Structure 1
């Protein structure tokens, strides 16, 4: 972090700093392009299973955040805020991160909760759109065309695919600018109602996290109770009747509580879950 701070400080002394009417740093198009490039390069390269794309977001935003936050403590708080869990389609993330950058430029460290709530609430819906268009539709169409041309011995197949991906790089950079512009308009229009927006984004974010638990955490039991001719499946006839995905919720609550204990680290929790899964699967308590 210190090297990053020194590098940005040197840049600030070499180039004039634009400011807004209230004296805050004015983000430039060069800042937007650089942040977008840093994120698109590293989004999947420093991915981890604890915060997923969080480190990539923090690394991408570090230079421009240093310009926005002159106070070292505010800069650290803002940077740590971006280390939190985040995961979405890379291209669609450009829109989200551009919008959060506009919020930080306008309201500074006071918008810390708004920034996190906005990222959490949008990453799921945007990922749904991005995964469909970018990971399914785009490579299917262009890959089929390029692959067919290559099978016919036409070298243009590889060239077309290469050119398309270069063009797509500029599209992702442009999406970052679109997100930033949208975020600026959002803050300008909301004005004093930012607190209401923050609360709404927080509620939506919690809803997204709740949906992720039900869809992403898989945990079912194969236990059955049998008395005479009566057979009762614990999962289908009891737990699902109480609340679908009850076991995933209980597991999530357990992990959440343990993460609050300093003796437990994410690595220890992963190993614990693996051990529980193996033991319970062996004895038929849990099923796939």
Structure 2
């Protein structure tokens, strides 16, 4: 998805050189995300390729040094998944941080993305995927039932207006990111640590609530039956098995031979074997 124009080499300036973006260049980056947020979606990094494509030209301008540019681009190929409309808000803020502080803000940029994509997706899904189509679709549908031929045109025009909403969110995010950096420029390390802690909390919450691992194994001694899951593991720590699996996956991904695809295949195999031998099962919803 990265075009040849994005990869044109600049004069290799000294490392650490940061150049500002023009308003037009910022809008171009936001426009790329607006139209291509779902392009190259994959199961490993999900929307990361679209993020990298959206930011490529802007980062090429910000980082005239080739090594700086490569490092910044690599940072945006990390996992990212958010309601596309809310992604404008996050990418606007991260672009402002990179433009103002360069690679010094690298960790803060990634941690901010990780921290915000979950909460903002909750808001964005409710507004843009449920509320907006329900209201607008309801009005357009009622118009169509009344025989009004303008119903389809109404739906198209109102939906097209989302473009301006997305671009507006990009500007809000950019302005917020600029203010954040300028007001905390002397305390960037503190901010980075705070965002890192928030990101870890979000990831920990996702592991405990989304990852489902359950074992139906039971200890039986005479008339006494003890469930391994509820009687042992949950007593030690709720969501212990999901946490253990997350640690294992993190450890495997740190090994040179393991890739996300190989880890996914391993998890599928372990799940099938565990289910076949009744070591793993489906948790009761009651």
TM-score w.r.t. structure 2 length?
A: 0.91
How far residue 104 of structure 1 moved from its aligned partner, in angstroms, is 0.7
- The aligned runs of 1:16-165 (5 Å cut-off) are 24-165=18-159
Moved more, 207-216 or 220-229: 220-229
Secondary structure in 1 matching 2:4: helix
Match of 1:252 in 2: 246
Match of 1:286 in 2: 280
TM-score w.r.t. structure 1 length?
A: 0.90
| Greater per-residue helix proportion | 1
1:175 equivalent among 160, 169, 178 = 169
Match of 2:208 in 1: 214
Consecutive unaligned residues of structure 1, counting only runs of 5 or more, are 13-22
On the 8 A contact 2:19/2:64 being kept in 1, the answer is: no
Consecutive unaligned residues of structure 2, counting only runs of 5 or more, are 12-16
1:8/1:150 CA distance change after superposition, 3 Å? farther
Secondary structure in 2 matching 1:4: coil
Secondary structure in 1 matching 2:107: helix
On the 8 A contact 1:258/1:264 being kept in 2, the answer is: yes
How far residue 130 of structure 1 moved from its aligned partner, in angstroms, is 1.0
- Cα distance in 2 between the residues matched to 1:8 and 1:88: 31
- Cα distance in 1 between the residues matched to 2:9 and 2:121: 32
On the 8 A contact 1:4/1:62 being kept in 2, the answer is: no
Deviations 1:61-90 (A, max 9, x none): 000111110101000000111111111111
RMSD across aligned C-alpha pairs, in angstroms?
Answer: 1.9
Q: Number of paired residues?
A: 276
How far residue 2 of structure 1 moved from its aligned partner, in angstroms, is 7.5
Match of 1:265 in 2: 259
- Cα distance in 2 between the residues matched to 1:83 and 1:214: 25
Match of 2:192 in 1: 198
How far residue 157 of structure 1 moved from its aligned partner, in angstroms, is 2.5
On the 8 A contact 1:96/1:179 being kept in 2, the answer is: yes
Match of 1:18 in 2: none
Deviations 1:192-213 (A, max 9, x none): 0111111100100111111111
1:69/1:95 CA distance change after superposition, 3 Å? same
- Cα distance in 2 between the residues matched to 1:25 and 1:2: 21
How far residue 224 of structure 1 moved from its aligned partner, in angstroms, is 1.8
Secondary structure in 2 matching 1:225: strand
2:227 equivalent among 220, 228, 233 = 233
On the 8 A contact 1:146/1:158 being kept in 2, the answer is: yes
